[in-house]
Structure 1
Amino acid sequence: MRELKKLWIYVKKYKLFFFGGLFFIILNVIFSMIPGYLNRRIIDDVINGQQMELLFTFLVTYIAANFLRAAAIMIQRFFTESLSQNLLRDLKQDLYDHLQRLSFNFFNNNRTGELMSRMTGDMEAVRMLFADGMIQFTRAIFYIVFVMAVLIPESLKLSLVSLALSPLIGFFAYRLGVRIKPIFRQVRRQYSDLNSTVQENISGIRIVKAFHQQCYEMEKFDEENNNYFTKNYNAAKIWSKYFPIMEFLGGMSTVLLLFYGGRLVIEGEITLGIWMQFNSYLWMLIMPMRMIGHIVNMFSRTSASAERIFNILETEPEIKNKKKAVHIDRVKGEIEFKNVSLSYGDEDILKNVSFHAEPGETIAVMGATGSGKSSLINLIPRYYEPTDGQVLIDGIDNRDYDLRDLRSQVSIVMQDVFLFSETIASNIAYGQPGLDLEKIKRAADISSARNFIEEMESGFEEVIGERGMGLSGGQKQRVSIARAIVEESPILILDDATSAVDMETEHQIQQALEAMDQRSTLFLIAHRISSVRNADQILILDHGEIIERGTHEELIKNKGQYYTMFKEQYKEVIDEKEIEERWVK
């Protein structure tokens, strides 16, 4: 019921469709009862009472009732479908919008396939409750209410006999609901696992083929698919255990009606017409009893799915605005880390990091894989928050800024380049849709991407494949650099952004960045000395700590880890003696 109460918040917006649907479902029930009443009148009044003049009226009424019932069914379906589709649209939109607000860490802990299953399969289960379950449930309730309201005055004893097995049917329906809901939770979770397996395989199909792991992937999918089958089979076993019992008890109600009702007719307590009316209405009593299992099944599926959807909707973003956030148009770009530490669980990623960058300076960050380089720059736009210490931008803690304003000050080229399946121009102007083409071309010039783009058949209007398929690694990096440059943000972060381009192109990009009219404070993560040697400050990280800092010349003189990296990368070009003569002395 908790999930239904939450769904009611969405249903309330469409009260016309909801109550309109209920109204025409009830009309459907009323019109479907008229033929049973007419059967009684035809037997008692026309056949036994020899009032033939009534036959034509009854037949016309019979036809009219069926026509009106058909019209009610059509209109009820329009209302319930309108309700379910509007509900589905709003719920999907809210879930999608909420996903956009959730922090990076949420996506680190949840697989894409699982989130996709909540946007698709779980949503459809919720929709079906209001498109189909609402009709079945309402009909079941009002069939029992209206039929008994008509039959009890005719014969209380026969009415009670007709309902004698209802408590048993209700008991088994309750037991079915209790046992099957946990199974449906498992089914939905396994469906997510299955989706995740497929999504990961298709996304990484080139890696799968490159390493000849098709058989392994097929076995993995077979295991997940079998698990999905097993959980559905377990649900079916529970269903098959209880549903036949409810069907049998429903059938026994017919036997009781035939036996006891027949005796009442013979003894003259009721007429044959009344008995026929009871017989006509009996399916209206038995149908709700038989449908209880199906309705419970649907409610259980919807409850399990709604629970998973609302689990996401009720997840609070880890990173969010303070009540009185500072709004800014543009910062200068001064950045200071004050005793910053960062931990994920029990793992220390950064330890007591401190440095200062003036506006327009270039700060290079180097270190081994896993030393905390990406974590450090992710703290600047508040993708994560430090466990201890402060990240100051223009002297203000970045946690005090409005989150949207803060992130508009930072352009970033991430290590894992992602391009959308759109035109190259749209990808470059992603942060500023509708941007003038000349500005797009200028950004492409700076990133050394313009030449290869214009060589393509459609130039900047060339549509690239999913995740940038059709472009080389270096081309994708240059397009993503252009996407960051076109923002003209006061802070620019390049996270290993030129690793796939040659050194000559990298040098051209660096020169173009330095020649820009309005220089950004640049954070540069790189592994090549050639990428960082002109930086105003170079930070060397090791296990989350800054072990060296300074300019290229200063670090060479210190003969520390940077010096070792320099010697290793340039050993074919410069010998150690030349290094000593040129920098150390």
Structure 2
Amino acid sequence: LLQKIFDELLGPGVAAPLLSAGAAGERAAPFLAWLEGLYAAARETAVRWGISPAAAVPALVLLALAAKNVFSYVSEAVLNTIGLAMVRDLRRDAYDRLLHQSSRFYSEASTGDLLSRMLSDVELVQTAFGNRLTDLLQGAVTIVVVLAYVFSLDPRLALVVFVGAPIILLPIVEVTRRLRRTTYAARERIGEMGALLSETLRAQRVIKTYGMEPFEAERFARANDRYFRANRRTIQIQALNSPMMELLAGIGLVGLLLYTATEIRGGRMTVGGFVSFLAALMMLYKPVKDVTKINMVLQLALAAARRVFELMDRASEIAEKPEARELPSFAQAVRFEGVSFRYGDATVLEKVDLTIHRGETVALVGPSGAGKTTLANLLPRLYDPTGGRVTLDGVDLRDATLDSVRRQVSLVTQETVLFDASLRENIAYGQPGAAEERVHAAAGAAYADEFIRSLPEGYDTRVGEDAARLSGGQRQRLAIARALHKNAPILILDEATSQLDAESESLVARALANLMRDRTTLVIAHRLSTVRRADRIVVLDRGRIVESGTHQELLTRGGLYRRLHEMQFFEAGADTEPARSGDAQGARGTARSLDELARERKVVSEREEP
């Protein structure tokens, strides 16, 4: 039965009518002859091998189906794997580039937008190139094969068609350009919503306390509407694809009919030849239409890829020279030589000269915005100065490898950063595989060992996101333990005790004393009571060093340090601590001192005007 069906479908008596009356003309004869030859060869091979043609035909059908499906599986699996690998490498390279950006980049960038680029945009690239690459290649192969057949039928007419095709396809090119632009705008709106969502999650306590849920909901609704409008334009442009393709195909067909009518009247073409050519040409319609649909999807991916490559193409401001050398362990002094730093148009530091000797504790104090943290951030090369240089034992930090510079520095800040890992991994951060004894010793010196061991899983306890299960004092002691474990010769303390209660501050202060022992320490503080014992206090104002000396020396001089000191205590010149925040009188005194400080700053500002 199968042989009979095969004979009937491919035999010369039935195959011709299937191609339509015109296609059965002389132009279809070569194709039919090829099919007949293929069938005859199959029958001869079966007879030669002693196989009945009745059995050979089903076997050939099954073999063809098996080969087709195996090829389909292999091609789809391989091409999709290639697409996944490409996107995996893209995400890895983007993340690597993100890690090596300067602190300036992070201060300017939106967290939500970066998350959108790294996750949502890369995922869209993966969806398009991973899932559509197979379809695109299959469509392209089909088009090439059909084109070859069309040119074999009538090269002159095929040339006429494909010379005119680019003109007809110009509208599709314009639609593609607009689609890419609107898609990029839609991806930007997603980044905007991501930034807003990230901000909301971070600030949820403030939002609830101030009763701003309706305001934030409205703000998100506006951002969501902007995304809706941008995405609607993208969808409208995508919807143009099918009707535009059919319209353009119709225009092309009318043009072809007019041209061939002239050719037929002139005797240069037969009706049968034209119908055969047209039948072959129509075979191009579906693969071309499919490819244009895939093109629409790829445009979405290209817009997303553009956002990812914008991130990857941004060079880091903190670059390592090819000839950079390794720094030996710090031995003598850190020097800031004529250091200036500008942030955009604002001058943050202006020609700062400062030397810090090994083992010395230097405190940086001054009003907010004086440049204290910026100066400290130059030491581990989180920023590079825009003028002057920073040297370690006489070596410009820009001439040394980044790794050797940052090995010299530990950092403890008021905003303790702990990772969603075990307590052990947080303490040994940067030194995986560290000995258990060293981790325990660091925790003990930071007065953290006792509370760690009281936890159900001890050092294996996972911190969790934002370390929300730990108190502020516990988090700070873990940060100190991490710095102790790193054992770097230079230490930066940036407001390390500014947000702690009295009990926590006492423990942290003892932990800091252990940490600072035998280290060169740079202390940044607003609370002047925490820096009295520093070897030297450097007072910054408007990016310049205005005073330097010990606590008593600066009080005696009666400069900015003394004025700041007086504003933080209840009575001018009093050498006592301000009351804790729980004391009502202390709260009133602090409030008065802030008002007085504002007035004092205004007077000083007017006095310093040129």
TM-score range, shorter chain: 0.7 to 0.9
**Equivalent pair of 1:173/1:296 in contact (CA under 8 Å):** no
Write the letter of the residue equivalent to 2:431.
Q
Partner in structure 1 of residue 606 of structure 2 = none
CA shift in 2, pair 1:227/1:334, >3 Å: same
SS at match of 1:522: strand
Post-superposition offset of 1:322: 2.4
Post-superposition offset of 1:536: 0.1
Partners of 2:303 and 2:334 in 1: CA distance: 47
Post-superposition offset of 1:105: 1.3
**Equivalent pair of 1:361/1:522 in contact (CA under 8 Å):** yes
Q: After superposition, give the CA deviation of every residue in 1:215-268 in whole Å (9 maximum; x if it has no partner).
A: 22221221111111111111222223343121345579999999x9xxx9xxx9
Partner in structure 1 of residue 217 of structure 2 = 218
The 5-angstrom pairing of residues 335-374 of structure 1 reads 335-374=334-373
Partner in structure 2 of residue 175 of structure 1 = 174
The 5-angstrom pairing of residues 129-208 of structure 1 reads 129-150=128-149, 170-208=169-207
The aligned length equals: 534
CA shift in 2, pair 1:290/1:490, >3 Å: same
**Equivalent pair of 2:129/2:298 in contact (CA under 8 Å):** no
Partners of 1:575 and 1:44 in 2: CA distance: 110
Partner in structure 1 of residue 551 of structure 2 = 552
Partners of 1:389 and 1:151 in 2: CA distance: 71
Partners of 1:246 and 1:361 in 2: CA distance: 76
**Equivalent pair of 1:333/1:520 in contact (CA under 8 Å):** no
Partner in structure 2 of residue 43 of structure 1 = 14
Partners of 1:101 and 1:457 in 2: CA distance: 37
SS at match of 2:284: helix
SS at match of 2:228: helix
Q: After superposition, give the CA deviation of every residue in 1:385-424 in whole Å (9 maximum; x if it has no partner).
A: 1222222222222222211100110001133222111122
CA shift in 2, pair 1:207/1:41, >3 Å: farther
Partners of 1:503 and 1:44 in 2: CA distance: 96
Post-superposition offset of 1:493: 0.5
SS at match of 2:179: helix
Partner in structure 1 of residue 48 of structure 2 = none
Post-superposition offset of 1:107: 1.6
Partners of 1:41 and 1:298 in 2: CA distance: 43
Partners of 1:380 and 1:445 in 2: CA distance: 28
Q: After superposition, give the CA deviation of every residue in 1:259-303 in whole Å (9 maximum; x if it has no partner).
A: x9xxx9xxx9769xx97x986x67641112322431331332232
| Structure 1 residue 530 corresponds to structure 2 residue 501 | no
Partner in structure 1 of residue 306 of structure 2 = 307
SS at match of 1:501: coil
Identical-pair percentage: 32
**Equivalent pair of 1:319/1:384 in contact (CA under 8 Å):** yes
The 5-angstrom pairing of residues 425-440 of structure 1 reads 425-440=424-439
Note the residue ranges of structure 2 that are not aligned, 5 or more in a row. Answer: 1-5, 19-23, 25-31, 44-52, 265-269, 578-610
SS at match of 1:375: helix
Partner in structure 2 of residue 287 of structure 1 = 286
Write the letter of the residue equivalent to 2:555.
I
Q: After superposition, give the CA deviation of every residue in 1:480-507 in whole Å (9 maximum; x if it has no partner).
A: 1221121111100010011123456545
Partner in structure 2 of residue 19 of structure 1 = none
Q: After superposition, give the CA deviation of every residue in 1:481-539 in whole Å (9 maximum; x if it has no partner).
A: 22112111110001001112345654554455555696110111122233111100011
Partners of 2:505 and 2:239 in 1: CA distance: 67
Post-superposition offset of 1:193: 1.4
Partner in structure 2 of residue 407 of structure 1 = 406
Post-superposition offset of 1:368: 1.9
Partners of 1:566 and 1:420 in 2: CA distance: 37
The 5-angstrom pairing of residues 56-135 of structure 1 reads 64-135=63-134
SS at match of 2:289: helix
The 5-angstrom pairing of residues 386-465 of structure 1 reads 386-465=385-464
The 5-angstrom pairing of residues 256-275 of structure 1 reads none
SS at match of 1:349: strand
Partners of 1:573 and 1:154 in 2: CA distance: 103
Partner in structure 2 of residue 477 of structure 1 = 476
SS at match of 2:352: strand
Partner in structure 2 of residue 571 of structure 1 = 570
CA shift in 2, pair 1:575/1:495, >3 Å: closer
Write the letter of the residue equivalent to 2:498.
S
Post-superposition offset of 1:371: 1.6
Note the residue ranges of structure 1 that are not aligned, 5 or more in a row. Answer: 1-34, 579-585
**Equivalent pair of 1:374/1:495 in contact (CA under 8 Å):** yes
Q: After superposition, give the CA deviation of every residue in 1:534-554 in whole Å (9 maximum; x if it has no partner).
A: 100011222222222111121
Partners of 1:284 and 1:558 in 2: CA distance: 93
TM-score normalised over the length of structure 2? 0.77
Partners of 1:433 and 1:426 in 2: CA distance: 7
**Equivalent pair of 1:409/1:490 in contact (CA under 8 Å):** yes
Post-superposition offset of 1:474: 2.4
Partners of 1:112 and 1:39 in 2: CA distance: 65
SS at match of 2:192: helix
Partners of 2:168 and 2:61 in 1: CA distance: 33
Partners of 1:133 and 1:249 in 2: CA distance: 24
SS at match of 1:486: helix
SS at match of 2:330: coil
CA shift in 2, pair 1:358/1:115, >3 Å: same
The 5-angstrom pairing of residues 250-261 of structure 1 reads 250=249
Write the letter of the residue equivalent to 2:413.
M
Deviating more after overlay: 544-553 vs 144-153: 144-153
Partner in structure 1 of residue 592 of structure 2 = none
Write the letter of the residue equivalent to 1:498.
T
**Equivalent pair of 1:176/1:296 in contact (CA under 8 Å):** no
Partners of 1:282 and 1:67 in 2: CA distance: 30
Partners of 1:65 and 1:495 in 2: CA distance: 73
SS at match of 1:363: strand
CA shift in 2, pair 1:389/1:164, >3 Å: closer
Post-superposition offset of 1:155: 7.5
Partners of 2:226 and 2:176 in 1: CA distance: 22
CA shift in 2, pair 1:136/1:441, >3 Å: same
| Structure 1 residue 229 corresponds to structure 2 residue 192 | no
